Amino acid sequence: MVENSFSLQNKIILLTGASGKLALSFIRKFLEYKAIVIGLDIKDEPPVIDSLDANLKKNFHYYKSDITNKSDLKEIFNDLSLKKILPNTLINNAAAGQVTFLNGSLVEFTQFPHEVWDANLRVNLTGALNICQVFGKYLEDTKNGSVINMSSTYGIAGCDQRIYGDSGLNSSIAYAATKSALIGMTKYLAAYWGDLNIRVNAVAPAGVFNDHKDPFYSNYVNKIMLGKMCEADDITNALIYLSSDASKYITGTVLSVDGGYTAW
Ligand SMILES: NC(=O)c1ccc[n+]([C@@H]2O[C@H](COP(=O)([O-])OP(=O)(O)OC[C@H]3O[C@@H](n4cnc5c(N)ncnc54)[C@H](O)[C@@H]3O)[C@@H](O)[C@H]2O)c1
């Protein structure tokens, strides 16, 4: 039955960046779809967790941790192993370096600081690599798993600088480079792990509406076939599909959730 194949019963989902803006929507729906969710973030636990029903909340576990620190992750692995809730689904969602506005002003490409570049690569790429290495061994041992890497339209298409004006949202070179590299990592690992029944896919969303104002909003929406910005729920649904058995024959793909942005 279609309904059953989209269920997340028996899925234990590790989600990085669990205190970020979009994660709140992901966590709520994963729990409603009967997953156990393990959230990791360098920030404190998202306060919204307190608003969840007790029967959902009991399936949420939170670790304040830095994904660039592999020994932190090994400790979490050991703790989850003791609790017998090692994840079979890994979502590399944490990110840094979305914008080129640093300390309140626009930084030109030629002045983009190396320390920011290095820091963004450490979170967006090395962090994802660490998660796959530390938790991937369990997927290998059980010959089962789904890994989802959060890319972006800017990992696929060039960032049109003309649309930003003084919005402060100008996307950065480090963001494009890492989101594109995550697609390479997705395909590498899909090929590497295919015969162990571990699926690896990427999701590439367009910008999620967050009270954006004109002219940026109209400029952005003009680039989208469906004529509106993304909603967090659109991404949640793609993640549910790729986490669930409904996508059991899907690996090595990039699922664009972008209203057609990259398909013109
Ligand atoms: N929001 C959008 O419009 C949009 C569009 C396309 C793609 N995405 C992607 O979706 C994902 C989620 O986006 P978001 O808007 O929720 O981002 P966000 O910035 O709100 O959340 C990212 C989270 O990652 C965490 N993080 C950063 N460094 C970390 C580290 N070293 N260890 C652990 N956690 C760390 C941050 O604390 C933050 O809570 C990101 O990968 C982003 O690139 C977002």
| All domains of the chain in start order, with CATH | 2-263 (3.40.50.720)
pLDDT for position 3: 61
With 0-12 CB in 10 A as exposed, 13-18 as middle and 19+ as buried, what is 40? buried
Structure tokens of 258?
């972008």
Q: How many CB atoms lie within 10 A of CB 109?
A: 9
Residue closest via CA to ligand 1's atom 32 equals 66
Residue 96 CB less than 6 A away from ligand 1: yes
pLDDT for position 140: 98
pLDDT for position 83: 98
Structure tokens of 7?
């269920």
Total-model pTM:
0.97
The answer to whether residues 152 and 89 touch, using CB atoms and an 8 Å cutoff, is: no
Block means of pLDDT (10 residues each) for the chain, length 264 residues?
A: 81 98 95 97 90 94 98 98 98 93 87 95 98 98 98 97 90 96 98 98 98 96 98 98 98 98 97
Which amino acid is located at 201 in the chain?
Answer: N
The answer to whether residues 185 and 129 touch, using CB atoms and an 8 Å cutoff, is: yes
pLDDT for position 51: 87
Q: What is the rounded distance in angstroms from the CA atom of residue 185 to the CA atom of residue 199?
A: 12
pLDDT for position 156: 98
Residue 42 CB less than 6 A away from ligand 1: yes
The answer to whether residues 253 and 247 touch, using CB atoms and an 8 Å cutoff, is: no
CA of 186 to the centre of ligand 1 (A): 18
CA separation, residue 203 to residues 104, 234, 258 (Å): 30, 11, 10
Residue 205 CB less than 6 A away from ligand 1: yes
Q: What is the rounded distance in angstroms from the CA atom of residue 87 to the CA atom of residue 16?
A: 12
